[in-house]
Amino acid sequence: MPNEALIVVDMQNDFCEGGALAVPGANGILPLVNRLIGRHDHVILTQDWHPAGHASFASAWADAVPFSTVKFPYGPQTLWPDHCVQGTSGADFHPGLEATKAQMIVRKGFHTGIDSYSAFRENDRMTRTGLDGYLKARGFTRLIICGLALDYCVAWTAIDGRQAGFDIAVVVEATAALDLEGSRRRMLTEMRQGGINLNATA
């Protein structure tokens, strides 16, 4: 469909098996993600792309442990293990991902003090990535979303996409979740209530 784009979120080594912030089940979705890529004319990849010492890394703070939550100027922020550092192999796309066809790669999380789960808007909820303008300029009205992690970058990208006026379907079977303290269930509910279609299949 000419007005439809596939967005593949953060299929990077650090989120896959053996990676610094591995999402359980990440490698298992690769065949489904590749099948979706094969079936779509317009493919966009997102890439988590942090400078070393990024504020979302627990290692950047004294006495902080990964997966704890701290107060940032823009609100609560989960601290993560160092991951997807610019230029490292952990930030590369998984070698099994059919990445060649991608028409656009959106990098996010490159401002040292601001994390970015959404591919549209950073975690301060103000700084925009430009993806909205790109998609609208190209005439896309419907977005199919898959990738990692369902309850963080996929969910926030879907919710912000909906808010920007796109028709959104998340292919849940082509995602995997971190599931920290019930985040999978919580974000599925938020997406459903936000008018996002969760019934699409790969």
In three-state secondary structure terms, 179 is coil
Asked whether position 152 contacts ligand VGL by CB under 6 A, the answer is yes
Buried b (16+ CB within 10 A) or exposed e, 103-137: eeebbbbbbeebbbbbbbbbbbeeeebebbeebee
Active site residue 10: yes
CA distance 96 to 92: 11
Taking the C-alpha atoms of residue 63 and residue 118, their distance in angstroms, rounded to an integer, is 28
Shortest distance, CB of residue 137 to ligand VGL, whole angstroms? 25
Task: State residue 137 phi and psi, 5-degree precision.
Answer: -60, -30
Check binding of 148 to ligand VGL (CB under 6 A): yes
Between 109 and 161, CB nearer to Zn ion: 109
Can residue 119 be called a binding residue for ligand VGL (CB under 6 A)?
no
Interaction of residue 48 with Zn ion, rule CB under 5 A = yes
Identify which range of 24-32, 45-53, 68-76, 87-95 contacts Zn ion by CB under 5 A: 45-53
Query: Which residue stretch of 98-106, 119-127, 131-139, 146-154 sits at the interface with ligand VGL (rule: CB under 6 A)?
Result: 146-154
Catalytic site residue from 14, 48, 82, 108: 108
With CB under 6 A as the contact rule, the residue among 153, 159, 170, 187 that binds ligand VGL is 153
Q: Which of 51, 9, 36, 45 is nearest to 151 (CA)?
A: 9
Provide the binding-site residues for ligand VGL, judged by CB under 6 A: 10, 15, 48, 80, 117, 148-149, 152-153
